[in-house]
Amino acid sequence: MLFLVAFLCLDLAAEAAEPVLSVSIPQIQGRGVRSPLEGQTVTTTGVVSLATSLGFFMQDETGDGDEATSDGIYVHQGLMPWVTPGDRVRVQGVVNEYVPESSALARANPHTELTRVQVDILSSGPSLVPKRIMFPPAVEGDLERVEGMLVELPGLLTVTQNYFLGRYGQLTLAAGGRLMRPLSQFVAGSAEARALAAENARRRIVLDDGSSRQNPDPTPYPGSGGQVRVGDRVQSLLGVIDYGLSGNEGAGLTEYRLHPLTPPLFTRGNPRSELPPAPKGDLRIASFNLQNYFITLDRSGADCGPGASRNDCRGADSAMELQRQRTKIIHALVALSADVVGLLEVENRGNEAVQDLVAGLNERLGAGTYASVSLPEGGAGSDAIRSAMIYRPARVVPLGASVSDSRPVHNRPLLAQTLVAQGRRFNVIVAHFKSKGRCPSELGSLDGELGDGQGCWNARRVAQAQATRTFISAMQRRSGAQDVLLIGDLNAYAREAPVLELVHNGLVDQIARFDTKPYSYVFDGESGALDHALSNESLWPRIVSAGHWHINADEPVYLDYNLEFRQPACRSCAPDRYQPDPFRSSDHDPLYVDIRLR
């Protein structure tokens, strides 16, 4: 013990004897991404520009006149600061380059800060004049020059992601309108795709509430009607720039962020559509990913899926949550007014979950309005979720039993049903390809993350697309009907290899016919269509309309059916904003296809 104490005393003496440099904030920041004084103890002075929940930003009163060096810096205290904006302060601390997570992008853009600090308030300082900056910057990374500074971003910005608003107090904004997924428009690896990815990186910035609190109450940035939709707008922002996480701590993207000095005022740039466009043809066919509709509750002792395991329970975890989820889905299905609907992410437990939805629809619309196709010949597979199909018996008639393609290449078997309407026979096939998540652990796997934007398991999805082509041919021979409509969640954007495998071999992208920039999902601040409708050439001239009904992808998550992270389950969280309507009934937008039969 004496030995340890002696060394501790020596360490403290060495720390006390460490020289303290008196420098300006621009000298600390330097002209590069890392401070030339990293790791050294310094003293500096400045004026507090903004306080956060764990420290504050301060800025040199006059600056050094060098456009390559920032005049501001963050002071990390680890607790709520006692200083207020406008205080002139002297700070002694260690220069640190903070990296919020381990990605190469984060390591390349460390955030300069002062840690292990001693803060003295000297007096009231002068009013800081915000620096008016060009946004988007000409080159990605140019915002490093104003890291920690009070700035004004002139011009119109558009909300391009609201996923983390209720949970972490963040919105992703973009100059020049909504950001589109590069591979929804251009082929992977192309110069155009790379250029759009680089442009998207320059155009986006995260609006952050400056708090480390989760589920803040009140939820920041109330827009029209109390929520901000993707596509809404804000004119000019005043705040402090830093670099950090977009979303959950230790995971996800890192971005330049702006902590607003004054509350931003959002205007509705993307109004809700209470109803989808009215049907134009003789028949409407729809597809809807339900984001795990399970009637088996996710709670202790539950057995879900063919494996009868609680690990496979993915849906509501209480009867109240299930009722809320069911209500929203039924509202959406009623409004879609489709004659045939392919349903995805339904509990794989016989037909119980589907029949539950059919019962709810018939309670609203009248007995016998909807029915479910039979469980398919070939089985529903071993995954916890499956695809299903419902229809209006007064409008279409199933011809024989439904059929599945249960070959091992499919994670979830394709589901096909031959139908007859107004004397015309046709095939509807519902597909749900392998998702991009949970990458394989094997090094060098073709299904690994290859860095081309298509995500993990792309080779598997291509193989599933190839198998889908052969299954379509088999269904045409089996049914004697040439007309085929393939609908569902392919977990691939329009210009990714799995979709191209289909469209380069006889299928026609019907959504793309009617919408040049379709989307059904928002991920990492970029919009694109994962949910597709493709027909063969004999059917496509009869298709008169197709599109997505945007009731989910643009909506904040805190409107969904879940009860956690909101009052009353969480007393410190924001109030529950659930409404019994179709909005945020899932994370995917449903699609519709209108067909003229005669």
DSSP annotation of 279: P
CATH number, position 114: 2.40.50.140
**What is residue 453's predicted lDDT score, i.e. its pLDDT?**
94
Together in a domain, 55 and 151: no
Written in H, E and C, the secondary structure of 25-40 is: HHHHHCCCCCCCCCCC
277 domain-assigned = no
Please enumerate in sequence order all residues whose Cβ is within 8 A of that of 10, keeping only pairs 6 or more positions apart, or say none. none
- Specify the number of domains making up the chain: 3
The string of DSSP letters for 10-29 reads HHHHHHHHS--EE--HHHHH
| CA gap 221, 218 in Å, rounded | 9
Q: Which pairs count as long-range contacts for 434-441, CB under 8 Å and 24+ apart, including other chains?
A: 434/460, 434/461, 434/464, 434/491, 435/491, 436/491
Together in a domain, 346 and 376: yes
Together in a domain, 167 and 101: no
**What is residue 249's predicted lDDT score, i.e. its pLDDT?**
52
351 domain-assigned = yes
Which of 107, 127, 147 lies at the terminal end of a domain, its last residue? 127
Dihedral sign of CA atoms 274, 276, 278, 282 in order: negative
Omega of the bond prior to 26 within 30 degrees of 0, cis? no
Together in a domain, 119 and 92: yes
Q: Taking Cα atoms as reference points, which of 512, 501, 491 lies closest to residue 588?
A: 491
Q: Which stretches of the chain score pLDDT less than 50? A: 1-15
CATH number, position 259: 2.40.50
Q: What would the pLDDT profile of 178-217 be if each residue is shown by its tens digit?
A: 999 999 999 999 999 999 999 999 999 999 998 888 999 9
Together in a domain, 585 and 520: yes
Together in a domain, 203 and 224: yes
373 domain-assigned = yes
Q: Taking Cα atoms as reference points, which of 338, 335, 344 lies closest to residue 289?
A: 344
Together in a domain, 188 and 337: no
Q: What angle do CA 445, 449, 451 make, to 5 degrees?
A: 125
Together in a domain, 112 and 136: no
For residue 90, count CB atoms less than 10 angstroms from its CB and return exposed for 0-12, middle for 13-18, buried for 19 or more: middle
Helix, strand, coil abundance in the chain, percent, nearest 5: 20, 30, 45
Q: What would the pLDDT profile of 270-300 be if each residue is shown by its tens digit?
A: 999 999 999 999 999 999 999 999 999 999 9
In this prediction the pTM is 0.93
Which of 127, 157, 189 lies at the terminal end of a domain, its last residue? 127
| CA gap 252, 108 in Å, rounded | 15
252 domain-assigned = yes
Which of 79, 102, 127 lies at the terminal end of a domain, its last residue? 127
Together in a domain, 141 and 175: yes
492 domain-assigned = yes
**What is residue 4's predicted lDDT score, i.e. its pLDDT?**
36
Q: Is 514 helix (H, G, I), strand (E, B) or coil?
A: helix
As a whole number of Å, the CA-based R_g of the chain is 28
> Residue 557 belongs to what domain range?
283-437+453-595
3 domain-assigned = no
| CA gap 30, 217 in Å, rounded | 38
Q: Taking Cα atoms as reference points, which of 152, 157, 173 lies closest to residue 238?
A: 152
155 domain-assigned = yes
| CA gap 223, 233 in Å, rounded | 9
370 domain-assigned = yes
CATH number, position 533: 3.60.10.10
For residue 172, count CB atoms less than 10 angstroms from its CB and return exposed for 0-12, middle for 13-18, buried for 19 or more: buried
Together in a domain, 409 and 517: yes
Together in a domain, 144 and 198: yes
**What is residue 442's predicted lDDT score, i.e. its pLDDT?**
84
Together in a domain, 480 and 398: yes
